[in-house]
Amino acid sequence: MFIYKQECALEDLGNGITRRILAHGGTMMAVEVNFSKDAVGTLHSHPHEQLTYVLSGRFSFTIDGVTKEVSAGDTLYKEPNVVHGCVCLEAGTLLDTFTPQRADFLS
């Protein structure tokens, strides 16, 4: 029930991106993703619903062909199977929530 950040492994995804799985169980998962300036979250899709909360930084996000700039305090919603990705304009951190859990992140 209590998850402490310092106990969660930080995974280096390369190209200026790191990921930390914060909590998961049942049908939900929370993940912190850190981006250095100019890092690219490549366009992709998956069968999960996803909410992204911008904790810090500035990003150019593309969701379903629409591109907009977002920054700290903004939230994005991604429907299942919708193509999305981002470019980090100013180093920052995102909090992603997925349902169902991303089993591929746990492997």
pLDDT in tens, 30-44: 999 999 999 999 999
* Predicted structure pTM score: 0.95
Residue 107 tokens read as 């492997």
Pick from 40, 42, 23, 2: nearest CA to 105:
23
pLDDT at 90 over 90: yes
29 and 91 Cβ atoms separated by less than 8 Å: no
Q: What is the pLDDT of residue 84?
A: 98
* CATH H superfamily, domain 5-106: Jelly Rolls (2.60.120.10)
Pick from 53, 36, 42: nearest CA to 91:
36
The count of C-alpha atoms lying within 13 angstroms of the C-alpha of 24, restricted to the half-sphere facing its C-beta, is: 16
Q: What is the pLDDT of residue 107?
A: 83
Mean of pLDDT over the chain: 97
Residue 105 tokens read as 């992140």
Mean pLDDT of 48-59: 98
pLDDT at 1 over 90: no
Question: What percent of the chain stands above pLDDT 90?
Answer: 98
Distance CA 14, CA 103 (A): 20
